Amino acid sequence: MFAWLLGAALTLAPAIAPAPAPPPVPDPPAPPSAEEIFAIPAALRQALHEQVVADGGSDHQRLSRLVRFMFDPEGLGMRYQHDGNFTVAEAWQSRKGNCLSFTLMTIALARAAGLDAYGQEISRTLSWYSEGDTLYFSNHVNTGVQIHRQRYSVDVASDSVLTAEPPKQVDDERLLAIFHSNRAASLLTEGRLEEAATYMASALRADERYAAAWNNAGVLALREGRPDQAEQHFLKTLELDSSHDGAMMNLASLYAARGDRQREHEYRKRIERARQRNPFHYFMLALDDEKQGDYTAAAKRYRRAIGLYDGEHRFHYGLARAYLHLGDFRKAGDALRRAQSLASDGTSERYQAKLDRLRRKGL
């Protein structure tokens, strides 16, 4: 109404010069193409040649040199940053990146070094963070490298990602969709909805079967005041991934806001059934029990998590902690030995040190 009243006043006062038209708002910059995302700057390519390629040797030797080049301070000295959703060039300039940026860089450099490299996705991980009023659930990607019949994984966060699933090989289009969807989510949080929509459209063009992008598109539609379109995007997410937690939670909230209690309860029951089958749900409950000092409940929930998935060393280590607080040192030792058998080398050594301390106490 205010804009209409102002316009009417101006038309009734022709003697006053009209206000100049506001400058046109430039269109949002186009999202980078696959070629731009994977592009290796000339200086980085030269460093790769000098530190990885020039010495020749076998594919295994080049892969080992590549990993050292990326992580050692004498090379790139890359560091992890959870919101560092960068192109290869941006990651090189900042020496930072999230798991996707590390993956993009590793693939680009490995291919430039003559190795057969590809992306791998783990769609179910225990990983999330919050900013403002937005809760982010994240999947995880890393790099696969095939040398003859052997497959290797290069992962910046292998010790901090909890998952019950092996990585699945994905094509470059899926990596591109993840990149654009991540950028869209960041822009959405900043309130830059038009730019977010541009990146979201690019994500869906790259891979229309990427369920997380449809879920993010639904959140964007909600922020834009289009709840009916959001509902369709959330339902599309579940069509592609019937157990997508975020889409079920978003639909439950959407139906609650509409007052549609029947469908709200339907999705809340689906969420609860999914949690009952999710070992990480019980792991998180056990951690909360530990914080509250209820070690009996913690041990029970760690055992439930292990019953659903025995292959995660952190479940067994948590159970060992609970048993230690309960004074059951024999069971604590058994749980710690199982944790050690499942852990990677560095973590296994830490568990061994804890076992040695128990033995020195005669436990």
In tens digits, what is the pLDDT along the chain, a chain of 363 residues? Answer: 323 222 322 222 222 333 444 444 456 678 999 999 999 999 999 999 999 999 888 999 999 999 999 989 889 999 988 788 999 999 999 999 988 999 999 999 999 999 999 999 987 665 544 445 444 456 789 999 999 989 988 887 655 555 556 788 999 999 999 999 999 989 998 999 999 999 999 999 999 999 999 999 999 999 999 999 999 999 999 999 988 888 999 999 999 999 999 999 999 999 888 888 888 888 888 988 999 999 999 999 999 999 988 988 889 999 999 999 999 989 998 998 999 888 876 677 777 777 777 666 655
- Same structural domain, 284 and 231: no
Structural domain includes residue 240: yes
- Same structural domain, 319 and 244: no
pLDDT for the residue 1: 31
- Same structural domain, 285 and 355: yes
Parallel, antiparallel or unpaired: strands 140-147 and 116-122: antiparallel
- Same structural domain, 257 and 304: no
- Same structural domain, 253 and 310: no
Structural domain includes residue 123: no
Structural domain includes residue 210: yes
Structural domain includes residue 183: yes
Extract the tokens encoding 148.
Answer: 């003859």
**Among residues 277, 304, 323, which one ends one of the domains?**
277
| Residue 283 and residue 318 in contact, taking contact as beta carbons nearer than 8 Å | yes
Q: How many domains does the chain have?
A: 3
pLDDT for the residue 283: 87
What is the phi/psi pair of residue 337, to 5°?
Answer: -65, -40
What residues are paired with 134 via a beta bridge?
A: 131
What residues are paired with 150 via a beta bridge?
A: 147
CA distances from 54 to 48, 49, 50, 69, 156 (A): 9, 6, 5, 13, 25
Parallel, antiparallel or unpaired: strands 128-131 and 134-137: antiparallel
Parallel, antiparallel or unpaired: strands 79-80 and 116-122: unpaired
Place of tokens 């941006």: 90
Give the number of residues written for the chain: 363
- Same structural domain, 58 and 147: yes
- Same structural domain, 291 and 335: yes
What CATH number does the domain containing 175 carry? 1.25.40.10
What's the predicted TM-score (pTM) here? 0.77
Which domain range does residue 343 map to? 279-360
